[in-house]
Amino acid sequence: MYIRKKAVILLITLMFITAISVLILKNLKDSEKFFNVIGTNIDLVQTQITITNVNEEIMSFFKDKKDEDISSFLEQIPENIPFIISNNIKVIITIQEYKNDNLHYLNNMTSGYSKNNFLLNIDYANVFFDIVEEKKKILSKNKSNLNLISSKQQITSIIDEYIAKTRDTRILNIKDNFTHFPIPEDSNDTFISCKYDININNINSSVDMVFKVGDTNTTKAFSFNFRNKNE
Protein backbone atom coordinates (compact mmCIF):
# COMPACT_ATOMS: atom_id res chain seq x y z
CA MET A 1 0.00 0.00 0.00
CA TYR A 2 2.83 2.39 0.92
CA ILE A 3 4.72 1.62 -2.30
CA ARG A 4 1.56 2.13 -4.33
CA LYS A 5 0.92 5.49 -2.68
CA LYS A 6 4.49 6.63 -3.34
CA ALA A 7 4.13 5.52 -6.95
CA VAL A 8 1.00 7.63 -7.35
CA ILE A 9 2.75 10.69 -5.90
CA LEU A 10 5.72 10.10 -8.20
CA LEU A 11 3.38 9.87 -11.17
CA ILE A 12 1.61 13.09 -10.18
CA THR A 13 4.97 14.84 -9.77
CA LEU A 14 6.12 13.66 -13.19
CA MET A 15 2.85 14.81 -14.76
CA PHE A 16 3.30 18.17 -13.05
CA ILE A 17 6.84 18.53 -14.40
CA THR A 18 5.82 17.37 -17.88
CA ALA A 19 2.91 19.81 -18.09
CA ILE A 20 5.16 22.75 -17.20
CA SER A 21 7.93 21.64 -19.56
CA VAL A 22 5.68 21.14 -22.60
CA LEU A 23 4.01 24.53 -22.18
CA ILE A 24 7.30 26.36 -21.72
CA LEU A 25 9.02 24.70 -24.69
CA LYS A 26 6.12 25.57 -26.99
CA ASN A 27 6.05 29.22 -25.94
CA LEU A 28 9.83 29.55 -26.08
CA LYS A 29 9.96 28.09 -29.57
CA ASP A 30 7.33 30.54 -30.81
CA SER A 31 8.96 33.54 -29.14
CA GLU A 32 12.49 32.68 -30.27
CA LYS A 33 11.48 32.93 -33.94
CA PHE A 34 10.03 36.39 -33.35
CA PHE A 35 12.81 37.78 -31.19
CA ASN A 36 15.54 36.52 -33.52
CA VAL A 37 14.05 38.87 -36.09
CA ILE A 38 13.93 41.99 -33.91
CA GLY A 39 17.25 41.36 -32.13
CA THR A 40 15.98 41.20 -28.55
CA ASN A 41 17.99 39.54 -25.75
CA ILE A 42 16.55 36.04 -26.11
CA ASP A 43 17.87 34.72 -22.79
CA LEU A 44 16.15 37.48 -20.85
CA VAL A 45 12.93 37.03 -22.79
CA GLN A 46 13.06 33.26 -22.24
CA THR A 47 13.46 33.84 -18.52
CA GLN A 48 10.48 36.18 -18.37
CA ILE A 49 8.32 33.80 -20.40
CA THR A 50 9.42 30.83 -18.30
CA ILE A 51 8.46 32.61 -15.07
CA THR A 52 5.02 33.46 -16.46
CA ASN A 53 4.49 29.89 -17.69
CA VAL A 54 5.61 28.25 -14.46
CA ASN A 55 3.35 30.54 -12.41
CA GLU A 56 0.33 29.84 -14.59
CA GLU A 57 0.92 26.09 -14.74
CA ILE A 58 1.39 25.73 -10.99
CA MET A 59 -1.83 27.65 -10.28
CA SER A 60 -3.67 25.60 -12.90
CA PHE A 61 -2.33 22.34 -11.45
CA PHE A 62 -3.91 23.04 -8.05
CA LYS A 63 -7.08 24.71 -9.37
CA ASP A 64 -9.65 21.90 -9.00
CA LYS A 65 -7.98 19.81 -6.31
CA LYS A 66 -9.67 19.15 -2.96
CA ASP A 67 -7.98 20.25 0.26
CA GLU A 68 -7.26 16.67 1.34
CA ASP A 69 -5.68 15.86 -2.02
CA ILE A 70 -3.52 18.98 -1.82
CA SER A 71 -2.39 18.14 1.71
CA SER A 72 -1.51 14.58 0.69
CA PHE A 73 0.41 15.78 -2.35
CA LEU A 74 2.37 18.42 -0.44
CA GLU A 75 3.25 16.00 2.35
CA GLN A 76 4.81 13.46 0.02
CA ILE A 77 6.49 15.34 -2.80
CA PRO A 78 10.22 16.08 -2.43
CA GLU A 79 11.13 19.31 -0.67
CA ASN A 80 12.83 20.44 -3.87
CA ILE A 81 11.67 19.36 -7.32
CA PRO A 82 14.51 19.80 -9.84
CA PHE A 83 14.04 19.25 -13.55
CA ILE A 84 15.61 20.19 -16.86
CA ILE A 85 13.28 21.59 -19.51
CA SER A 86 15.95 21.70 -22.22
CA ASN A 87 19.73 21.75 -22.41
CA ASN A 88 19.83 25.41 -21.36
CA ILE A 89 16.84 25.67 -18.98
CA LYS A 90 16.97 24.24 -15.45
CA VAL A 91 14.33 24.73 -12.75
CA ILE A 92 14.17 23.87 -9.03
CA ILE A 93 10.75 24.27 -7.36
CA THR A 94 9.74 24.23 -3.69
CA ILE A 95 6.00 24.09 -2.93
CA GLN A 96 4.20 24.12 0.42
CA GLU A 97 0.95 25.28 1.96
CA TYR A 98 1.01 28.91 3.03
CA LYS A 99 -0.36 29.43 6.55
CA ASN A 100 -0.33 32.25 9.08
CA ASP A 101 1.37 29.97 11.63
CA ASN A 102 4.83 31.35 12.45
CA LEU A 103 4.48 34.18 9.93
CA HIS A 104 5.38 37.71 11.00
CA TYR A 105 3.31 40.40 9.27
CA LEU A 106 5.54 43.47 9.32
CA ASN A 107 2.84 46.03 8.55
CA ASN A 108 1.12 45.39 11.89
CA MET A 109 4.29 45.11 13.93
CA THR A 110 4.84 46.82 17.27
CA SER A 111 7.96 46.97 19.39
CA GLY A 112 6.35 44.60 21.87
CA TYR A 113 5.55 42.13 19.12
CA SER A 114 9.10 41.98 17.84
CA LYS A 115 10.37 41.51 21.38
CA ASN A 116 7.96 38.72 22.30
CA ASN A 117 7.70 36.75 19.10
CA PHE A 118 10.91 36.16 17.21
CA LEU A 119 14.04 38.05 18.27
CA LEU A 120 16.42 35.91 20.32
CA ASN A 121 18.16 39.01 21.59
CA ILE A 122 15.34 41.18 22.93
CA ASP A 123 17.75 44.09 23.36
CA TYR A 124 17.52 44.52 19.60
CA ALA A 125 13.71 44.57 19.45
CA ASN A 126 13.51 48.35 19.22
CA VAL A 127 16.20 48.39 16.53
CA PHE A 128 14.17 46.07 14.33
CA PHE A 129 10.92 47.92 15.01
CA ASP A 130 12.51 51.31 14.24
CA ILE A 131 13.84 50.01 10.91
CA VAL A 132 10.37 48.76 9.96
CA GLU A 133 8.78 52.08 10.89
CA GLU A 134 11.39 54.05 8.96
CA LYS A 135 10.78 51.89 5.89
CA LYS A 136 7.05 52.59 6.13
CA LYS A 137 7.67 56.34 6.45
CA ILE A 138 9.72 56.26 3.27
CA LEU A 139 6.96 54.35 1.50
CA SER A 140 4.35 56.84 2.72
CA LYS A 141 5.94 59.50 0.51
CA ASN A 142 4.60 57.53 -2.44
CA LYS A 143 0.82 57.41 -1.97
CA SER A 144 0.47 54.43 -4.30
CA ASN A 145 2.28 52.30 -1.72
CA LEU A 146 -0.31 53.12 0.97
CA ASN A 147 2.39 53.27 3.64
CA LEU A 148 2.74 49.47 3.53
CA ILE A 149 5.61 47.07 3.06
CA SER A 150 4.58 45.26 -0.08
CA SER A 151 7.42 43.11 -1.40
CA LYS A 152 10.03 40.53 -0.47
CA GLN A 153 12.74 42.94 -1.60
CA GLN A 154 11.65 45.47 1.03
CA ILE A 155 11.66 42.76 3.70
CA THR A 156 15.15 41.70 2.65
CA SER A 157 16.29 45.31 2.88
CA ILE A 158 14.93 45.52 6.46
CA ILE A 159 16.73 42.34 7.49
CA ASP A 160 19.99 43.48 5.89
CA GLU A 161 19.83 46.81 7.71
CA TYR A 162 19.04 45.07 11.01
CA ILE A 163 22.09 42.81 10.63
CA ALA A 164 24.29 45.77 9.70
CA LYS A 165 23.26 47.58 12.89
CA THR A 166 23.27 44.66 15.33
CA ARG A 167 25.50 41.95 13.79
CA ASP A 168 22.72 39.56 14.82
CA THR A 169 22.74 37.10 11.90
CA ARG A 170 20.48 34.61 13.68
CA ILE A 171 17.53 36.41 12.17
CA LEU A 172 18.48 34.77 8.86
CA ASN A 173 17.24 31.46 10.29
CA ILE A 174 13.68 32.77 10.14
CA LYS A 175 13.91 35.22 7.24
CA ASP A 176 11.33 33.24 5.26
CA ASN A 177 8.78 33.76 8.06
CA PHE A 178 8.48 37.49 7.43
CA THR A 179 5.62 38.43 5.14
CA HIS A 180 3.74 41.35 3.66
CA PHE A 181 0.71 39.16 2.95
CA PRO A 182 -1.22 37.61 5.86
CA ILE A 183 -4.17 35.29 5.27
CA PRO A 184 -7.42 36.81 6.63
CA GLU A 185 -8.27 35.08 9.91
CA ASP A 186 -11.79 34.25 8.76
CA SER A 187 -10.64 32.78 5.43
CA ASN A 188 -11.42 29.16 4.60
CA ASP A 189 -9.40 29.25 1.40
CA THR A 190 -6.23 27.28 0.80
CA PHE A 191 -3.11 29.21 -0.14
CA ILE A 192 0.05 27.80 -1.70
CA SER A 193 3.58 29.16 -1.33
CA CYS A 194 5.88 28.44 -4.24
CA LYS A 195 9.55 29.31 -4.58
CA TYR A 196 11.73 28.38 -7.50
CA ASP A 197 15.05 29.11 -9.16
CA ILE A 198 15.55 29.17 -12.92
CA ASN A 199 18.85 29.00 -14.78
CA ILE A 200 18.77 29.93 -18.47
CA ASN A 201 22.23 30.17 -20.01
CA ASN A 202 23.92 33.03 -18.11
CA ILE A 203 20.80 34.31 -16.37
CA ASN A 204 19.70 33.03 -12.96
CA SER A 205 16.45 34.14 -11.39
CA SER A 206 14.65 33.45 -8.12
CA VAL A 207 10.87 33.63 -7.79
CA ASP A 208 8.69 33.72 -4.68
CA MET A 209 4.89 33.71 -4.96
CA VAL A 210 1.74 32.98 -2.96
CA PHE A 211 -1.60 32.21 -4.58
CA LYS A 212 -5.10 31.12 -3.60
CA VAL A 213 -6.13 27.69 -4.84
CA GLY A 214 -8.81 28.08 -7.51
CA ASP A 215 -7.66 31.55 -8.56
CA THR A 216 -5.58 31.19 -11.72
CA ASN A 217 -5.57 34.85 -12.71
CA THR A 218 -3.63 36.58 -9.94
CA THR A 219 -1.01 35.94 -7.30
CA LYS A 220 -1.43 37.37 -3.80
CA ALA A 221 2.28 37.94 -3.30
CA PHE A 222 4.88 37.78 -6.04
CA SER A 223 8.49 38.82 -6.40
CA PHE A 224 11.46 37.85 -8.52
CA ASN A 225 14.99 38.95 -9.32
CA PHE A 226 17.45 38.43 -12.14
CA ARG A 227 21.18 38.02 -11.80
CA ASN A 228 23.95 37.10 -14.19
CA LYS A 229 25.87 34.08 -12.95
CA ASN A 230 29.14 35.72 -13.99
CA GLU A 231 28.56 38.73 -11.74
For the chain, 231 residues long, the average pLDDT of each consecutive 10-residue run is 61 72 65 50 75 84 83 81 77 87 80 72 83 85 66 89 92 86 82 87 84 77 66 51
pLDDT value at position 5? Answer: 59
pLDDT value at position 167? Answer: 92
What is the amino acid identity at position 92? Answer: I
Listing from the earlier edge strand, what are the strands of the sheet with 191-200? 81-86, 89-97, 191-200, 203-212, 221-228
Note whether 158 and 106 are within 8 A (CB): yes
Instruction: Please report which helix (H) or strand (E) contains residue 22, including its range.
Output: helix 2-38
Note whether 52 and 31 are within 8 A (CB): no
pLDDT value at position 144? Answer: 54
pTM to 2 decimals? 0.72
Q: State the Cα torsion 189-21-78-74 to the nearest 10°.
A: 20
pLDDT value at position 91? Answer: 85
